[in-house]
Structure 1
C-alpha cells in the first residue's frame, strides 16, 4: 500500500491556518465542516488529538458563544466507549475551539462513498454501538441534534459518535438565514424539520436513518435539494425497498413519524441481538477488509511539528487563536501544556539590581527538556524593579493616628447636633419595619439598597445563594411565585390581573401570547448579556409584559418581584400545535430576599 492515500487524508497547513491553537502545535488539516475547521495535533505526551476551530462568523455572535460554552461544558461530562471524549477547549478566546481524542477511522459517510453498503453484521454492530453512545449522551442531558453518517467514525473496535450537542450552539443565532448552514436535512427527524422541536427521540430517528444508510448505501429519503428532502421527511414514507428484510423491523420502528412511538435505546439494542444470527461482539473483524484498510491509512500520522513558529519581525498583535493567559504568576490555563523550561526562549532583560537568569540545573523539573510538539511559551517580561522603601519613622505614624482619631471625634460631635430626620425615616428604623426574611417589613422608603440596617451597624447584606429549577411547564393563565420553594405553576385565573411574580397568558380573541408579571418588573436581556444577580440589579429597562414573538430558545428575562426576590427566567420553547394544552417551558434561577421589599 502506497503512502499517497494517507497523504490525502492529512492536508498540509495553508497560509491562512494557525500554527498553534491553545498551546497545541498543529500538524495537518483533517477537514472542514459547517461550523469550523478540524486540525490534527498532539498532546505533550504524544497522543494525537483533533482540534476544531470555530468559524469567525460564529465567533462574532454573542448568543453562539454563550450556547457554545454551555454545550462544551455538557459534552465534557460524556465519557463512553463509543464517543470521542472532549479533552480540552477554549470558549472565551477570540476564536473558540475544542479538542477531542483523535479516532483513526473513516466516517460512515466516507466509508459508504468509497466502498458501498455494509454487510448485515456490520450494520447491527454499528447500530448497537451508536445506541450505546446515545445512551451516555442522553444521560448527560444532551440531545445530539445532528446525528448523521459524517458524525459517526468507524474505529477498529467499533463506532465513535462525535460532535454531540455542539450543533445546538448555532441554533437561533444571528447567522440564521445568512447562508451559513448547520445540520444535514437528509437525516433530520420530522418534528425537527417541521417545527424545530428536538428531544431524545429525534436522535432515535437519526439512528434509524444511519442504519438504513449503512445497509443500502444511500439516504432512506433520497437525495436532492434540501427543501425536497425535508418535504419527503415530513409528509412521505421512506423508500425501504432495498433494506435487508432482517433490518426492516429496526429501521421501520425508528423512522416512525410519532416521536413517542419510536423504540427506546434499550429496545433497539435488544432488537439488534434478536436479528443477528450469531452473538454480537465488537472486535477488530467487525468491518469488511476494504473499510478496515482505511483505518490503517489513518494510523500513518504525520510527524508532530518540532520547531517553534518563526518569531515576528514586528510588534506582535493579539492572536486570534486562544491567546495565552496574560496575567502574572504561574497560571497554566491548559492542563495539557505543562510549564517547562524553554531553552529557546530569549533571555529577559533585568533592571539594575535584579539577578540574571538562573543557569539550567540538570535533573531539576523546571529545566527538563520539553516534550515533542510542545509550544514554547513567550518570553517572560518582568515588572520594573522597585527598590524597597525605608520604614516610616514612629513620629510620622503617631501624627497620622492622631489625625484619624481627631477626625472621628469631630464627626461624632457634628452628628449629635443634627436633627433626627423625618417621621418617615424614624418609621423605617423601627423594629417592625426592618428587613428580616421573606416579605418582612416595608424596607427603607422602597429603595432596593441590598443592605441590612436592623442591627444599626450598617452591615451589607450578603448576596443570597441561587436556587435553580429546570423544565417548568407553565400552562396558559398559570403563574409562579419566586418565594415558593420549589416554585410550582398554579392556576392564576386571569393571570394579567392576578398576583403572580411571573405568568403566561394568551388572548382568547386575537391569539396573542405573552409572559408578564403582576407583582414586580421584567427586563428582557440582550443576547450579549448573561442572566445574573448583578445584571438584574443594574438593568433599568423595565416592562411588565413580553410577547412570545420576542423570545427564542435560550432568551433570558430578569424578574424583580415586589417581595424582594430576583429571578432569571430562561425561555425554552412553546408547546406544539397538536398538544392537548397550551404551555411554555422555562428554566428558573431565584435569589430569594435579594432586595428589600417594595411598598405596595
Structure 2
C-alpha cells in the first residue's frame, strides 16, 4: 500500500444545512504547493433515514473561504495534491509517535480513508502505515472482519504489487503496514509528463495486469483500481491499496459503506451488484485509456454524467492500437461475463498461446523498465510552439511569433521569445521558424466518444438515477478525481453568449465598418496576473494561450471551452487550438502512437465526440498551424529535426468532416526554415522567403505547387498571429526598410501596397477587423498590453494586460458573427 504522498493541505470542516433526516459534512482544501497536481474529491454522506433521498449538492474549493447556500448540502470531502516525488511532512500535534511498534517519522498524506505515515521498522527499513478514519472502523465485529480481510491481502504473490506486511488496531482504529514504494503515481506522471505510449505503455499494461492476476489468485478483488493506485517505482509499476477496498466492504454490511471511484468503476459496481475480478478488468482498461490519453475514459466532471457514460457509452480508443487496443475493448464490455481475465490479458499481450506456471514471473520481468526511467519516452520530437520570428535566421528575441493567417505561429508574449527546440526526448512543438502565419482560433476541451444509438432515453435516465441513488443511499465513500489534463485554476463559470448581430464581410480595407467597441470587462486569466478586457461585441476573442513555466523551461497550454467560455489548463498538450466557431478543439499530445505516428485529436465540444487522426511517422512531426475560416479544415506543418534546427518539409491538411489527413511534400528548399500558413482565401498555403531585412511571400496551391510570389514586402513581426485580413483581401507586414512600428498593408491578389502608417506598436499580431490591427504595445511601465490600433496609428483600447516578467503567448479567434 505505498500511497502517493500528498502536499500538506489546509483543511476546514463544515456542516451544511439539510433535512433533519440527513447529516452531511464537507471538508475543503486549499493546496499549498508550487507544483500543479490533482485534487481528489471524496464524497461522504452519513445516512439516517433511507426513505428520504438526499438533495443534489455541490462542494466548491475556494482559496480562502467556503460559502454554502442556505438549506444546501455539501457532499464532498476534498484532498490530494500529488507531488511526483515523496513529500514527507512532519507529524502534527495529535499524531501518534508510534503505531504497531513502529516509529513514525512523518506524514505521507491524508485521504478519504485515513492518514498515511512514513515509519521505520527495527532494521531501519522504511514502510508506509495507513491509519483508518474512526468513522470507517465500525464496531468491534467490523474491526475484526477488517483485520481478517487485510490478512488475506498478505498472501498476494509479490508480482508488481506493494506487499502488505501487517495490520493491527490502535485506539479502536485499524492500521495497515505495507511496503513503501517511492515514486509518483501513474495519475501524477501522466498529468505532469503526458500520455504513455509505445513500449512504455506496453510494459505498464503488462505490469498492472500481472498485479491484478496475482491479487485475483489470492481470492481478492481490488475494487478500486485506478491511476492513483499505481505507483511508478524504479523497478516498474506497482499496484497498491488492493486489500483496503475489500476490508472496507467487509465492514459495509454494518456501516452501509461502498467504496469506489465512479470514473473507473465497472457498471455492475455502480449498480450495486457483486463486484468480481471482471470489475477490476474494466477498471484496468479504463486506467490504460487514461495512461494513453491523459483523460479518464468516461470523464471526470459531475457524478451523474460520469455514471451515465459508464453505463451507456463507449470511450474513444483512437490512441490505442494492436493487441493492447483489442484487450482494452474486450475488458470494457458492459457485461462482466464477456471480459477476459487478468491472466488472459497477460497471455494476449505477451502473445503466448497458453498459460504456464511461471507466467506471472515472466510478465513481471517483461514489465520492468529496460533502462533508467526517462521522463517520457516515445514522444515526438518537436520544437516548442514558441514564437515565430519574422526573419530567416530563426526566432528572434521579442514578444510574439510569426503571422497568424496561416498557421498559428507561435505563442509569445513580450520581450522574451520562447526557447528553441527542446533537447528532451519528447520535444515540444518547436519555436516556429521565421514566418508561419497562423489563423485566429484556438480552444480546448476534453470530450468523450458519443453514446451508441439509443433505443430509448427512459432506460438510460432510470439507470443513472438508480445508480446515483444506490451510491448516495448506501452512505458513499466515493472518490471523484478532477482530471487535470489540466485543472483549470479558477471556478469554471461559463460566460453567456452575447447577442449576435449580423455583419457583412467587406474585403476593402478602406470601407466604413462597425466601430471598435469600448473596453470590456476585466477578467483575470488562470495561470498568473494576466487580465483580459473582453467586450461581447469584439471582432476577436482570446481562445487559447500559453504561459512559460520558467522553472521547468516548458510552455503550458490553456484553452477555452467555447468562444465565450472559461479556460482550462492542458499540461499534457504540446498544442491546443480552437476552431473559429468555438465548436472544435484540436490538440496534439506529447507522444507518438504505439506504431510511431504523430497524431492530433479533434474534440467536438458540442457532442463530446473525439477523433484521433494520424499524420506523419517518427522522426517527422506535424505541428498544428491553423484552422480554415469555415472551421472545416486544419493545417499542420511537417517538420524534421536537423541538428539544432527544424526543417519544414511540407504540410498536412485535415478534413474535419471525413477525418482524412492529406500530406503534401513541398520541393521548394528556399522555405525550409519557415512554416506554412493558409493563404487569404484558405485555398492554398503561403510561406516566407528571403533574409531578415528583405522578405517575400510565396503562395502555393493545395498540391504544394508555387503559384506566385510577392518579393520586397518587408518583414514579419515575430509573433504575428495572422497577416491576412478577415476577408483575405489584404495582408500586413513591417514596411521595407522600416521598423516594427512601420506598417504596410498589401493587396493579397496583386501585391500592390494599399497603406503605410506608423504606430507605437512593438509587434503586430494581426488584423482585428478589416480596418484595424491588434498589436503588442510595450512602452507602458510594468505591463505589456495587446492594443487595437487604427490605420492612422492611433491606439484605441487594450485587449490584454500582461506583467513584464511573464512570458505569455496569446491566440485569438475571429468572432464569426462580426467579420467587419
Q: TM-score normalised to the size of structure 1?
A: 0.44
Structure ranking higher in helix proportion = 1
Which protein shows a greater Rg? 1
Q: TM-score normalised to the size of structure 2?
A: 0.33
Structure ranking higher in strand proportion = 2
